[in-house]
């Protein structure tokens, strides 16, 4: 018992020392200071903050995190990103390719705080034209040992006007990184009208615009990925973009559950219509047998995200990269929680990478660690920049598609 007490005392002392270290180096921009802050900050998060947060229901924890970020209570990465990570995609300059995926800051409340954590870009939303509450609660469920979450939020949104006003205020001052807007449709809305309205409303405050046709939590939304429906929708969106904000890239976000033929159709439409990018992928309806499912939440309805999605979304990414012949920039998302995960996405075809779910499990200091490890991995393989690595594994695994016509 005395030994246990001594061990607990030593552990508390180390945590206390860690807190002092984090506070002491917080304002220093040197890489060594950044590494110390990341190491001890992660220790404090996992040993002190997370044991408390995990006792609170997931949606409340999510909201607490967003508000803490909005109030400037999340860490600031003051270390300049390595030149190796600097990249330009869709005409947008970023200091690094790592971004915060849509779904975390749905209402544009914490953009500055998120960028200050070290993300190269942040994607807001999904934002619907009119306010809507989303699906009934509870609608978010943890699978902690699986490093996963199931959610069925259903596009809960304060509506385009509220989000637009926040972003307009944000744009009064220079913004550190790239800000994308993920557009959704109202539950009872018309897809073409809702998405084109989003383009018109956010064209002057967004760096890029995303047509989200892949959430599993809005009835009928995924049917918009079918060839004829998708072509009709994207033509209308691109036409609206050309009229209201001709310089802003339009992207489409797809599901990982599409068949190979569906992927072919989607990529044909993407090339034909001329979107500037694709996001691969959204959450999955699948429930892998590998899930530990300690909480018993496996059978909850909704989209599964986090570590169990990584392999499936990465394979989907490889296929899309080859189908688009590497000509359409891709954003890889799904299960990213480490530098190795981010590098795997890039080699699978992603020019940019996003994370969300595993940020809750790894903590806010993970952003710095992912960037550092990604930088080391790129250099270790003899490359000088992100663009040199894009699609290497995709091209090695999947042959180029046979062309049978103008667009295959």
What are the tens digits of pLDDT across the range 251-284?
A: 999 999 999 999 999 999 999 999 999 999 999 9
Confidence at residue 408, expressed as pLDDT on a 0 to 100 scale: 45
Neighbours of 137 (CB within 10 A): 13
Which residues fall within 8 angstroms of residue 295, CB to CB, at 6 or more apart? 141, 142, 143, 144
DSSP state of 403: P
pLDDT in tens, 327-347: 999 999 999 999 999 999 999
Asked if residue 59 lies in contact with residue 140, where contact means CB atoms within 8 angstroms, the answer is yes
Confidence at residue 32, expressed as pLDDT on a 0 to 100 scale: 82
Computed over every residue of the chain, the mean pLDDT equals: 92
Cα separation of 344 and 167, whole Å? Answer: 33
Confidence at residue 112, expressed as pLDDT on a 0 to 100 scale: 98
Of residues 172 and 4, the one with the higher pLDDT is 172
Average pLDDT of 70-80?
Answer: 95
pLDDT band at 5 (very low <50, low <70, confident <90, very high): very low
DSSP state of 101: P
Residue labelled with tokens 């509220």? 162
**Active-site residues: which are they?**
215
Biggest CA–CA distance in the chain, Å, is 78
Average pLDDT of 208-215?
Answer: 97
**pLDDT at position 133 over 60:** yes
User: 212 is written with which tokens?
Assistant: 């989200």
**pLDDT at position 365 over 90:** yes
Confidence (pTM): 0.92
Residues 389, 179, 72: CA angle, nearest 5 degrees = 110
Average pLDDT of 26-52?
Answer: 86
Residues 312, 318, 321: CA angle, nearest 5 degrees = 140
Confidence at residue 170, expressed as pLDDT on a 0 to 100 scale: 97
Q: Kindly compute the dihedral angle of the four CA atoms of residues 247, 253, 258, 262, in this order, to the nearest 10 degrees.
A: -20
pLDDT band at 402 (very low <50, low <70, confident <90, very high): low
pLDDT band at 2 (very low <50, low <70, confident <90, very high): very low
Specify burial of residue 65 (Cβ count, 10 A radius: 0-12, 13-18, 19+): buried
Neighbours of 407 (CB within 10 A): 11
Strands (E), 103-214: 121-127, 140-143, 148-151, 178-183, 208-212
Cα separation of 327 and 178, whole Å? Answer: 21
CA 26 to chain centre: 26
pLDDT band at 31 (very low <50, low <70, confident <90, very high): confident
pLDDT band at 292 (very low <50, low <70, confident <90, very high): very high
Specify burial of residue 390 (Cβ count, 10 A radius: 0-12, 13-18, 19+): buried
């Amino acid at each position: 018992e005395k030994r246990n007490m001594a061990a607990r005392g030593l552990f508390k002392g180390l945590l206390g020392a860690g807190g002092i270290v984090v506070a002491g180096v917080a304002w220093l921009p040197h890489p060594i200071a950044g590494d110390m802050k990341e190491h001890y900050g992660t220790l404090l998060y996992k040993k002190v903050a997370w044991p408390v947060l995990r006792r609170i229901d997931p949606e409340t924890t999510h909201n607490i995190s967003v508000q803490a970020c909005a109030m400037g209570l999340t860490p600031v990465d003051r270390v300049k990103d390595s030149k190796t990570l600097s990249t330009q995609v869709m005409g947008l300059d970023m200091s690094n390719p790592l971004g915060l995926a849509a779904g975390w800051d749905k209402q544009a409340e914490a953009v500055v705080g998120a960028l200050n954590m070290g993300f190269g870009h942040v994607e807001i939303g999904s934002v619907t034209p009119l306010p809507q509450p989303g699906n009934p609660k509870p609608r978010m469920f943890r699978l902690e040992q699986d490093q996963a979450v199931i959610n069925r939020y259903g596009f809960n949104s304060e509506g385009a006007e509220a989000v637009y006003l926040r972003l307009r205020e944000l744009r009064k001052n220079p913004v550190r990184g790239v800000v994308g807007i993920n557009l959704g449709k109202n539950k009872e809305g018309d897809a073409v009208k809702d998405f084109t309205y989003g383009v018109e409303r956010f064209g002057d405050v967004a760096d890029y615009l995303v047509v989200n046709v892949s959430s599993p939590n809005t009835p009928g939304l995924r049917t918009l990925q079918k060839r004829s429906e998708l072509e009709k929708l994207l033509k209308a969106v691109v036409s609206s973009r050309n009229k209201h904000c001709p310089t802003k890239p339009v992207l489409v976000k797809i599901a990982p559950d599409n068949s190979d033929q569906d992927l072919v159709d989607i990529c044909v439409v993407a090339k034909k219509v001329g979107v500037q990018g694709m996001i691969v992928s959204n959450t999955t309806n699948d429930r892998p047998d590998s899930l530990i499912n300690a909480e018993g939440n496996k059978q909850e309805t909704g989209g599964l995200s986090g570590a169990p999605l990584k392999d499936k979304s990465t394979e989907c990414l490889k296929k899309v990269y080859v189908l688009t012949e590497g000509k359409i920039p891709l954003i890889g998302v799904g299960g990213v929680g480490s530098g190795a995960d981010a590098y795997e996405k890039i080699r699978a075809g992603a020019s940019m990478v996003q994370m969300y779910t595993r940020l809750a499990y790894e903590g806010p200091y993970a952003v710095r660690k992912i960037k550092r490890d990604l930088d080391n991995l790129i250099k270790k393989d003899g490359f000088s920049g992100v663009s040199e690595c894009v699609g290497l594994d995709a091209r090695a695994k999947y042959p180029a598609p046979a062309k049978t016509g103008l667009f295959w």
